[in-house]
Amino acid sequence: MSDPNELTVLNPATEEIVATVPAASEEDVAAAVVRAVRAQRTWAAVAPADRARLLRRFADVVDAHAEELARLEVREAGHTLGNARWEAGNARDLLLYAAGGAERLLGRQIPAPGGWDVTFHEPLGVVGVIAPWNFPMPIAAWGSFPALAAGNAVVLKPAEATPLTALRLAALALEAGLPEHLFQVLPGYGTTAGRALVDHPDVAKIVFTGSTRTGREVMERCARLVKPVTLELGGKSPNVVFADADLTAALDPFSFLDNCGQDCCARTRVLVQESVLDEARDVLADALAAVVVGDPADEKTRMGPLISARQRERVRSYVPDDAPALRGSAPDGPGFWFPPTVLTAERPDSRAAREEIFGPVAVLLPFTDEQDAVRLANDTPYGLSGSVWTKDLGRALRVSQAVRAGNLSVNSHSSVRYWTPFGGFKQSGLGRELGPDALTAFTETKNVFISTEGPAQ
């Protein structure tokens, strides 16, 4: 039984306790929102250039503590050191990018007879951000920093398992000189603190990242208050590999093993043209055997543990011992380890081929031709990301247009850049984060018409 007043943070690589943290109650959330409302009024009145200057200073402080933040992420989330360093850098870079946005939050002047018509982007007020455990630091940053830059206050609830880097970011914001209570982090349980944030009438918007199931509940609760919501949810993304592709690059196992597969963009459906299926199987078998799985704090490690015992049980349920599969290795002993795995005899309608596993497990599925590839790629309720590998440019363009997903890459497995929009089609989500429009998602558009006719005589 977990203690409702406390969160226990475990190191997933050792199962040792890293920290215990008080869990916020409904009353704590309500008090934080009152403080945030006050802080936001002051912040919105700060000139955009000064807001930008403070956010750049925050970026400098994050940069100065990047190694400390990365090592904390390794301990609380089991991320490899290389990944965790990228994550701290991502938080810093997004602050710099968003700071520039504060100075460029432009309205429009629209021709209208009898006067001038102008639009303004006004901050929403207090934004609630609810983050998952798989990328605690970047996802906290993506929801919070553009919102702050646009003149809002933020109350962030990190996931139960991973509150530490978010708490540290809030402390660094204060150190950088951001006003008190502008960026508050409240660790707590989803069904208490999370719900309280979603239901609070003075929280103007919710940014939720997590499972599709919880996202649906968050959206229903927001609907009662007609509260805007951004949802970044699950995925079951395709990697479409045509016979003419560079198979070694296309079948890079880190397209589904990065972060031990706990990545909503993981390309876990490996769709391979049947004429090169045997060759693809060999390439994957060699690649899985070469993956170094182990202590995430070791610079040579490429894959760490899963987040928890519960997650490992869930992943295991998709991989019976006798399932035909290619398997890598994983350490024994303490830690939530699972070997890199590719299931080779799944049907497209099997549980493993349809559900998000959120572990280092992919399914290999053959297709016949371009039409069959697109049909299979779209045969999912999700639509977050995907890759297309072919040397035929026309086919690459046709398939990218036909696949219903928010983030596609051609001859590449990249998904996330802080300067390009990120989000899902279908049940992978609603709205977009990052990119040039990141700040406008945290504003209301106000239209003002100013008559040039004199007062009526």
Active site residues: 232, 264
Instruction: For residue 288, report the phi and psi dihedrals to the nearest 5 degrees.
Output: -65, -40
Stretch that binds ligand NAD, among 6-14, 27-35, 75-83, 128-136 (CB under 6 A): 128-136
- Residue 143 near ligand NAD by CB under 6 A: no
Bridge partners, residue 429, by sequence: 232
- Residue 134 near ligand NAD by CB under 6 A: yes
Q: What is the largest CA-CA distance in the chain?
A: 89
- Residue 133 near ligand NAD by CB under 6 A: yes
Query: Taking CB under 6 A as the criterion, which residues in 328-387 touch ligand NAD?
Result: 356, 358, 384
The candidate with the shortest Cα–Cα distance to 18, out of 168, 135, 161, 139, is 161
Measured from the CB atom, is 105 or 186 closer to ligand NAD? Answer: 186
Stretch that binds ligand NAD, among 17-25, 101-109, 192-200, 248-256 (CB under 6 A): 192-200
- For residues 196 and 159, the answer to whether their CB atoms sit within 8 Å is no
Residue selected from 151, 194, 335, 339 as contacting ligand NAD according to rule CB under 6 A: 194
Q: Which residues contact 451 (CB under 8 A, 6 or more apart)?
A: 114, 115
Residue selected from 76, 160, 252, 295 as contacting ligand NAD according to rule CB under 6 A: 160
The candidate with the shortest Cα–Cα distance to 428, out of 406, 400, 399, is 406
Stretch that binds ligand NAD, among 23-31, 190-198, 268-276, 289-297 (CB under 6 A): 190-198
Residues 371, 377, 382, 383, Cα dihedral to 10°: -80
Three-state secondary structure call for residue 305: coil
Three-state secondary structure call for residue 283: helix
**Min. distance of Cβ 162 from ligand NAD in angstroms?**
9
The candidate with the shortest Cα–Cα distance to 81, out of 278, 300, 270, is 300
Measured from the CB atom, is 7 or 70 closer to ligand NAD? Answer: 7
Bridge partners, residue 116, by sequence: 111, 450
In the shown chain, the binding pattern of residues 384 to 413 toward ligand NAD, with x for contact by CB under 6 A and - for none, equals x-----------------------------
Residue selected from 138, 326, 424, 438 as contacting ligand NAD according to rule CB under 6 A: 424
Which tokens hold the place of 9?
Answer: 């943070």
Please report, for residues 206, 330, 395, the alpha-carbon distance to residue 305 in angstroms, rounded to integers and kept in the order given: 30, 9, 38
Measured from the CB atom, is 259 or 390 closer to ligand NAD? Answer: 259
- Residue 209 near ligand NAD by CB under 6 A: yes
- Residue 217 near ligand NAD by CB under 6 A: yes
Q: Give the nearest residue (CB) to ligand NAD.
A: 190
- Residue 195 near ligand NAD by CB under 6 A: yes
Residue selected from 92, 157, 267, 426 as contacting ligand NAD according to rule CB under 6 A: 157
Crossing angle, helix 48-64 and helix 136-149, to 10 degrees? 160
- Residue 132 near ligand NAD by CB under 6 A: yes
Residue 142 and residue 147: Cα distance in Å, rounded?
Answer: 9
**Min. distance of Cβ 186 from ligand NAD in angstroms?**
11
Residue selected from 5, 191, 414, 451 as contacting ligand NAD according to rule CB under 6 A: 191
Three-state secondary structure call for residue 43: helix
Residue 217 and residue 193: Cα distance in Å, rounded?
Answer: 14
Residue selected from 11, 80, 152, 214 as contacting ligand NAD according to rule CB under 6 A: 214
Stretch that binds ligand NAD, among 73-81, 270-278, 318-326, 421-429 (CB under 6 A): 421-429
**Min. distance of Cβ 141 from ligand NAD in angstroms?**
13
Three-state secondary structure call for residue 358: coil
Q: Which residue has the tokens 């035929």?
A: 392
Query: Taking CB under 6 A as the criterion, which residues in 253-272 touch ligand NAD?
Result: 264
Residue 204 and residue 123: Cα distance in Å, rounded?
Answer: 10
Stretch that binds ligand NAD, among 28-36, 39-47, 127-135, 322-330 (CB under 6 A): 127-135
Residue 123 and residue 440: Cα distance in Å, rounded?
Answer: 9
Q: Which residues contact 67 (CB under 8 A, 6 or more apart)?
A: 85, 88
Q: How far apart are the first and last CA of the chain?
A: 76
Residue selected from 153, 176, 198, 438 as contacting ligand NAD according to rule CB under 6 A: 198
Interface residues with ligand NAD (CB under 6 A) are 130-135, 139, 157, 159-160, 190-191, 194-195, 198, 209-211, 214, 217-218, 232-235, 264, 356, 358, 384, 424, 428-429
